[in-house]
């Protein structure tokens, strides 16, 4: 092969062993560990094949039938297919709802929604990040505007009740009356209960606000029809497609079409969101769509309409409930006292363990999760809980009995962290050092990790054999 032909046609494992080695190591990590980060999943072979297809090569700025470049005959059909299946997956009438499948991911999708709905400095209200909301719902701290959604728009958070852990809708209604937001965001990254979309709608209507549902975390559960859907009440719905939905890393925006309201004199007021959302995505915020990802979206939404997908989502929730019950039985405290969805938020304050230590020790025994603030936490920098999710484990075929084993591993890991902390003292750096260097703890950590990895490696991963 000539030099250039080699560049073009050689397999990555022959051409770039250094990079390939890292990819293979990551595959091994995914295989031997228990993935419990609630926003993660293992996508299907079909989606991975779309992502690495020739569709990646094509520029197609604009929408199907209105592109700025030629050669989009088939790209148009791919995007139309993705749109059609997106609407079908949520049982939406195309007269009432439209969809844009071009957002690169969830954060750009949300920025596009605000750009479409309101002026710069328009007001938004979302669930505060430490209470379970997402950065893109307007997050800022008392001293700094963190998310662009708080820099370019004026945001005011609503909160959960610090005792029950449940969203305080009454307080939201009260604050919204004063703040007069133009957009209310109903969406969560860490909240284990279903949202009351009807109540959100009432509060939005009372203030003339749009109701924007960000269902990124729960869009697979909604597609399966096993938890309440935001579509009955929301004006706009966004989602990522890579979490419970198990598709490619991308974003989607659904917008209402047709009659928005009827005036006293009978005149109809129509939604004008279609052009606003589409223009906000392109040319407002993005350039060429990622057509390989759009094909992946089409593939994921085809899967989302199957009985097997519904069964999978039901199992995700059964596993989450089993995980939750198992942890409570072992004496752990869970925010809101339970779960209706794919995640559990464990409050480690009564157990005397910090979120950072818990996350660290679990990672050391090959269980991936993330530290998280819990309702009533004093400091967002030193969170007192961990968020555990079941979508990825369920994809690998774990069932409720397996969750008992997982609970046992978590419990033993957390107990070990207490043992270590009792010796290492209050500083996290000393704790980490003890995990790695203390002759008493190193073999204990290793033995538990070996057990977890042996257990985990029995469950297959979708995708390619070793990368
Ligand atoms: C509710 C919610 N919205 C939006 C996003 C942003 O998605 P992305 O990470 O794809 O930008 C997330 C990501 O975790 C999320 O949880």
Taking only the tens place, the pLDDT of each residue in 148-196 is 999 999 999 999 999 999 999 999 999 999 999 999 999 999 999 999 9
pLDDT band at 331 (very low <50, low <70, confident <90, very high): very high
Mean pLDDT (the chain, rounded) = 97
**Ligand 1 near 247 CB (within 6 A):** no
pLDDT band at 380 (very low <50, low <70, confident <90, very high): confident
**242 is a catalytic site residue:** yes
Ligand 1 atom index nearest CA of 188: 1
pLDDT of 379 strictly over 90: no
Torsion of CA 303, 59, 275, 105, to 10 degrees: 50
Correct CATH for 54-304 of 3.40.640.10, 3.20.20.240, 1.10.1740.10, 3.40.190.170: 3.40.640.10
* pTM confidence score: 0.97
pLDDT band at 381 (very low <50, low <70, confident <90, very high): confident
Looking at domain 307-457, its CATH architecture is Alpha-Beta Complex (3.90)
**Ligand 1 near 216 CB (within 6 A):** yes
* CATH 3.40.640.10 in the chain, residue ranges: 54-304
Give the pLDDT mean for 283-309. 98
pLDDT per position as a tens digit, 112-134: 999 999 999 999 999 999 999 99
Ligand 1 atom index nearest CA of 189: 16
Q: How far is the CA of 217 from the centre of ligand 1 (A)?
A: 8
> Which residue's CA lies nearest to atom 4 of ligand 1?
106
* CATH 3.90.1150.10 in the chain, residue ranges: 307-457
Q: What is the pLDDT of residue 378?
A: 87
Percent of the chain beyond pLDDT 90?
Answer: 98
Q: Which of 134, 242, 290, 342 is catalytic?
A: 242
pLDDT of 82 strictly over 90: yes
Q: What is the pLDDT of residue 38?
A: 98
Give the pLDDT mean for 412-416. 98
pLDDT of 453 strictly over 90: yes
């Amino acid at each position: 092969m000539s030099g250039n032909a080699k560049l073009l046609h050689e397999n990555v494992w022959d051409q770039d062993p250094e990079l390939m080695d890292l990819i293979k190591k990551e595959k091994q990590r995914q295989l031997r560990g228990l993935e419990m980060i609630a926003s993660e999943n293992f996508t299907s072979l079909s989606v991975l094949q779309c992502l690495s297809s020739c569709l990646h090569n094509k520029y197609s700025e604009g929408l199907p039938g209105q592109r700025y470049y030629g050669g989009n005959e088939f790209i148009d059909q791919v995007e139309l297919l993705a749109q059609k299946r997106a609407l079908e997956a949520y049982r939406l009438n195309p007269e009432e709802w439209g969809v844009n499948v071009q957002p690169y991911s969830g954060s750009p999708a949300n920025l596009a929604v605000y750009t479409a709905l309101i002026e710069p400095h328009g007001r938004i209200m979302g669930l505060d990040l430490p209470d379970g909301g997402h950065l893109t719902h307007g997050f800022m701290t008392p001293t700094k505007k963190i998310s662009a959604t708080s820099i370019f728009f004026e945001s005011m958070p609503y909160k959960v009740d610090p005792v029950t852990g449940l969203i305080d809708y009454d307080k939201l209604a009260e604050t919204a009356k004063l703040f007069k937001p133009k957009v209310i965001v109903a969406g969560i990254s860490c909240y284990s209960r279903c949202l009351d979309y009807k109540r959100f709608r009432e509060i939005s209507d009372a203030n003339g606000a749009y109701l924007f549902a960000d269902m990124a975390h729960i869009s697979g559960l909604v597609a399966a029809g096993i938890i309440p859907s935001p579509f009955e009440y929301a004006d706009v719905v966004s989602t990522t497609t890579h979490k419970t939905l198990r598709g490619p890393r991308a974003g989607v925006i659904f917008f209402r079409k047709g009659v928005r309201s009827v005036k006293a004199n009978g005149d109809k007021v129509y939604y004008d969101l279609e052009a606003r959302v589409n223009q906000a995505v392109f040319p407002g915020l993005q350039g060429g769509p990622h057509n390989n990802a759009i094909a992946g979206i089409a593939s994921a939404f085809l899967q989302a309409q199957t009985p097997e997908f519904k069964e999978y989502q039901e199992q995700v929730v059964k596993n989450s409930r089993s995980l939750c019950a198992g942890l409570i039985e072992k004496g752990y405290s869970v925010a809101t006292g339970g779960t209706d969805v794919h995640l559990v938020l464990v409050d480690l304050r009564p157990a005397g363990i910090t979120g950072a230590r818990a996350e660290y020790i679990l990672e050391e025994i090959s269980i991936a999760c993330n530290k998280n603030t819990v309702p009533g936490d004093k400091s967002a920098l030193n969170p007192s809980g961990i968020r555990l999710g079941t979508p990825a484990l369920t994809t690998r075929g774990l069932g409720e009995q397996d969750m008992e084993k997982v609970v046992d591993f978590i419990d033993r890991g957390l107990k070990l962290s207490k043992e270590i902390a009792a010796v290492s003292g209050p500083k996290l750096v000393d704790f980490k050092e003890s995990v790695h260097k203390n002759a008493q703890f190193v073999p204990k950590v290793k033995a538990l990790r070996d057990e977890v990895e042996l257990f985990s490696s029995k469950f297959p991963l979708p995708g390619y054999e070793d990368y």
